[in-house]
Chain A
């Protein structure tokens, strides 16, 4: 198994781990974190696509690499937006988690 395949499997596992966290964690903040983890797994898959396409004396195809750079910045922007949304939600409702059963959530009002 070469390095690209190894990191590719790592990326696949990270997607799985991130998805699990996204589904099972009730705290919105932890969901955002899990989504970032999922995203970085996808970026890693792009990375091995780039690595396998190494040619012309380069260590990897620069096109997918540039796309990943753009994606990381956009993911950061989306994360900032999501956190601002969650905080506003918390300020408005006083709830620190999203759950289908609202009686389960901590209802501390500030």
Chain B
């Protein structure tokens, strides 16, 4: 057994243990902490699977942003006595057996993959050079499956609309309730003054380098969103009211630009979302830059939750 496979076995054991304890621990707070740790471990598994782009996304969004969202929800929710609402043993046993069966079925499928493993990697590498991109994942996201990426941005906006729509009537157009996190603390304020300049540069760098190496609009946008939330939580800046025009313009800039370039593809290239020859890379970088901003704002507002207070004039 090589050192790498010992590491893999240990990593899998740790992931399963932490994942199971995220389900089984008694308090919701401990479960969320476990989930964040789980997200970070899982991103290491992604590195081991040679998917560094996915690892970055998992660490940033799967662990970090989802963790923040769940922590906020725990802080806001009333505590509940878990023992009084636990389901009975027979049901748990049945559920356990069912889940073991599902997992076993998937395991069987893993042991018997289709004989010639289908792969699109050679096709991607063959068609990547005309786009001017060096990162095949970015190539798939912005050239070959651009429609998926565009629609995903629309999904983010729709989810944000859904979250905002859940605001009570009196708070519509007001500011989100980030104050559950807020504990004005000199140390936190110090961090919120020191880290954002570094974080903003890093977020832009991640977006820029995504054309060539692992990274990209999602990961960079998440870092920017995290910096924004840090500044808001430390109390250095107020969360914006959702009715603000600049907020809404920023939210739609990325998708609108993407869509406009996609529609222009009908005229200047020969299909929707096709890039004219020679202009692919600058167009993609422009779309990525706009998307990074929109993603940052959308993720930040999603994590901030529905508005709870009416806007102060």
Contacts and interface: CB of A to CB of B under 8 A. Distances in A.
Direct contact of A and B (CB under 8 A): yes
Contact of A29 (B74, B84, B99, B155): B74
B305 interface: yes
A88 to B, nearest CB: 5
Contacts of B126: 56
Interface of A: 3-21, 23-27, 29-30, 32-34, 36-37, 40, 43-45, 47-48, 50-63, 65-70, 72-81, 83-88, 90-91, 94, 96-97, 99, 104-106, 108, 110
User: Which secondary structure dominates where chain A touches chain B?
Assistant: helix
Nearest to A91: B168
B28 A14 contact: no
Given A29-B73, A79-B69, A47 B23 contact: no
Contact of B49 (A34, A48, A96): A48
Contact of A62 (B81, B140, B148, B160): B140
B78 A110 contact: yes
B80 A16 contact: no
B95 to A, nearest CB: 4
B305 A83 contact: yes
A3 B49 contact: yes
Contact of B218 (A13, A16, A73): A73
User: Which secondary structure dominates where chain B touches chain A?
Assistant: helix
Interface stretch (B105-113, B241-249, B272-280): B105-113
B20 interface: yes
Contact of B119 (A53, A68, A81): A53
Interface of B: 4-5, 8-9, 12, 15-16, 19-20, 22-24, 28, 31-32, 35, 38-39, 42, 45-46, 48-51, 53-54, 57-58, 61-62, 65-66, 69-70, 72-74, 76-82, 84-87, 91-92, 95-96, 98-100, 102-104, 106-107, 110-111, 113, 117-122, 124-126, 136-137, 139-141, 144-145, 148-149, 152, 155-156, 158-160, 162-163, 166, 168, 216, 218, 299, 302-303, 305-306
B99 A53 contact: no
Nearest to B158: A77
Contact of B159 (A14, A78, A110): A78
Nearest to A28: B77
A69 B57 contact: yes
A6 B104 CA distance: 14
Nearest to A52: B117
